[in-house]
């Protein structure tokens, strides 16, 4: 068996498994002791990086103070055991700069910056937005492209131009379009990470370097095993992990908008209350039973 040796990328230390962690709530407020427990679990699994206050972390419904405190607490809880790449995006460039500067001051290793949402900037506007961020801080920026949520794709040509800036180091690729990922990987040295759990192995096969995972909240060791098998040249093993995880990824994340189902699953495993903030609401009772079956089918002890 021959190990896989990929071409070097700009932010290789972020290659592997990053986990987009939830923000735990209890009675409407952030449960910081539970947040630290969940970060300890990720450290024990040997993940490369955690990504707090992203989509999975319900950043749209956190106050500015809460957002900054989760960043601070996550960095302190990680305690150097893994990298920390908090979400610092906004549809206001000034706000994104402020949040990203806060993350840098707090000791974050990078910033995960979603494309501006709702106001649908042009591609030139996208470029100027990310350029302002790259020039404002010394930590690397990961461009998070998820047009299904933002309403606007960051075109590959735009990302290729952004790659000329040394501060732009990574892409979280959540378009589901492999041609777009191929174009970026072929034309740049950016570190491209999957933003979709079930697309991890396909993206690795064309030169992607890992995943920012939601399912990793539940089974980080299994997601890590897939990536480790691929990197070791064990393609058959990587495929086995892909097919084992595929049903869990599809059936879990297809039930409702993220993070509703992942929080419900964590509650069934005794690791979260399952609370989400409005306008998100709890999983419907019929879907709760379906989710319980999905977890049990995977071998997780859902109660």
Q: What is the predicted pLDDT for the residue at 293?
A: 95
Q: Which residue bears the tokens 């892909």?
A: 242
Catalytic site residues?
A: 144, 172
Q: What is the predicted pLDDT for the residue at 1?
A: 53
Q: Which helix (H) or strand (E) holds 215?
A: none
Beta partners for residue 171, in sequence order: 143, 192
280 within some domain: no
Range of the domain at 175: 12-234
Q: For residue 29, give the CATH number of its domain.
A: 3.20.20.70
Contact partners, residue 284, CB within 8 Å, separation at least 6: 256
Confirm if 59 and 67 have CB atoms less than 8 A apart. yes
Domain count of the fold of the chain:
1
Q: What is the predicted pLDDT for the residue at 8?
A: 87
What is the CB neighbour count within 10 angstroms for residue 38?
23
Pair of tokens at residue 165: 């800036």
> What does the pLDDT look like over 241-259, one tens digit per residue?
999 999 999 999 899 999 9
57 within some domain: yes
Q: Where are the alpha helices (DSSP H) in the chain?
A: 32-45, 64-78, 93-106, 123-136, 147-150, 156-162, 178-187, 200-205, 220-231, 235-253, 260-268, 285-298
Confirm if 78 and 36 have CB atoms less than 8 A apart. no
Q: What is the predicted pLDDT for the residue at 5?
A: 61
Confirm if 89 and 114 have CB atoms less than 8 A apart. yes
Weakly modelled stretches of the chain, pLDDT under 50:
none
Give the count of alpha carbons within 13 A of 87, CB side only. Answer: 30
95 within some domain: yes
Confirm if 280 and 58 have CB atoms less than 8 A apart. yes
Contact partners, residue 32, CB within 8 Å, separation at least 6: 69, 73
166 within some domain: yes
Q: How far apart are CA 77 and CA 44, in angstroms?
A: 13
104 within some domain: yes
> What does the pLDDT look like over 121-163, one tens digit per residue?
999 999 999 999 999 999 999 999 999 999 999 999 999 999 9
Q: What is the predicted pLDDT for the residue at 4?
A: 55
Q: What is the predicted pLDDT for the residue at 254?
A: 92
Pair of tokens at residue 264: 């419900």
273 within some domain: no
175 within some domain: yes
Q: For residue 240, with 0-12 CB atoms within 10 Å meaning exposed, 13-18 middle and 19 or more buried, which class applies? A: middle
125 within some domain: yes
Phi, then psi, of 145 in degrees rounded to 5: -105, 105
Q: What is the predicted pLDDT for the residue at 6?
A: 66
pTM: 0.96
Q: What is the predicted pLDDT for the residue at 3?
A: 55
């Amino acid at each position: 068996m021959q190990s896989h040796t990929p071409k070097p990328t700009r932010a290789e230390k972020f290659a592997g498994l990053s986990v987009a962690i939830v923000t735990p709530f209890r009675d409407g407020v952030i449960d910081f002791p539970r947040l630290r427990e969940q970060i300890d679990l990720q450290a024990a699994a040997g993940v490369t990086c955690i990504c707090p206050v992203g989509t999975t972390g319900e950043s749209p419904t956190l106050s500015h103070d809460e957002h900054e405190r989760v960043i601070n607490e996550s960095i302190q809880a990680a305690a150097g055991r893994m990298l920390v790449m908090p979400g610092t995006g906004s549809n206001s460039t000034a706000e994104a700069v402020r949040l990203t500067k806060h993350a840098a001051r707090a000791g974050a290793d990078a910033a995960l910056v979603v494309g501006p949402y709702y106001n649908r900037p042009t591609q030139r506007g996208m470029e100027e937005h990310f350029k302002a961020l790259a020039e404002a801080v010394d930590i690397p920026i990961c461009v998070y492209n998820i047009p299904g949520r933002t309403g606007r794709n960051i075109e590959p040509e735009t990302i290729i131009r952004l790659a000329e800036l040394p501060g732009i180091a990574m892409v979280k690729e959540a378009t589901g379009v492999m041609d777009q990922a191929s174009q970026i990987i072929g034309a740049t040295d950016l570190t491209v990470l999957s933003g979709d759990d079930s697309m991890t192995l396909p993206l690795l096969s064309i030169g992607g370097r890992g995943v920012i995972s939601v399912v990793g909240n539940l089974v980080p060791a299994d997601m890590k095993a897939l990536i480790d098998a691929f990197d070791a040249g064990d393609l058959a093993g990587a495929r086995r992990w892909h097919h084992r995880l595929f049903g869990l990824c599809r059936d879990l994340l297809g039930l409702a908008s993220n993070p509703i189902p992942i929080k419900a699953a964590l509650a069934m495993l005794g690791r979260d209350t399952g609370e989400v903030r409005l306008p998100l609401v709890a999983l419907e009772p019929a879907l709760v039973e379906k989710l319980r079956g999905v977890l049990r089918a995977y071998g997780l002890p859902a109660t």
